[in-house]
Amino acid sequence: MLYIKRYLTSDCISFTFVVLIYSILASLDILPPLTTLLAFQLFAMSTAATLLLAITDRIAWKNRWLSIAVDLIDVLIGVFVSGMLLNVFVLNPLNLAVVVGMCIFVYFAVYGVLMIKDQVDASRINQQLQWLQQNRDKRTGENQ
């Protein structure tokens, strides 16, 4: 269950970043306006990338940079294949640059958010362990 929760969280965070970036670029007239249909298509693209990540994350990479490179390839494949199947964009140099740039930015943004979340969770666990240790020490001190 934790495995599914992590990827659902990742998918939602990446979709949020994509919509924010897309909205900014649309307000600058770099991209067309965001429509309801396009929002659903962007979510499908985000989900396709997340599914590929879920598959390749099962491989135990020995090198962190290799893992990141494979993750980025997963994201790009998921986005480009689903984007072209859904007719979200036409491949031209500008679209290619925008999509690749957004993918890289969103990947590292999600990576950062999940890293912060993991640190918060670890801190919470450490606090609980420390509390348990203190209570155990009190109980063993009272029994003596």
pLDDT in tens, 84-132: 999 998 888 988 999 999 999 999 999 999 999 889 988 999 999 898 8
CA 7, CA 48: separation in Å to the nearest integer? 11
Question: Are the beta carbons of 110 and 17 closer than 8 angstroms?
Answer: yes
**How many domains would you assign to the chain?**
1
Q: What is the pLDDT of residues 61-88, one digit of tens each?
A: 888 899 999 999 999 999 999 999 999 9
CA 1, CA 25: separation in Å to the nearest integer? 36
Give the structural domain span for 57. 2-143
DSSP 48-64: HHHHHHHHHTTS--S-H
pTM for the whole thing?
Answer: 0.81
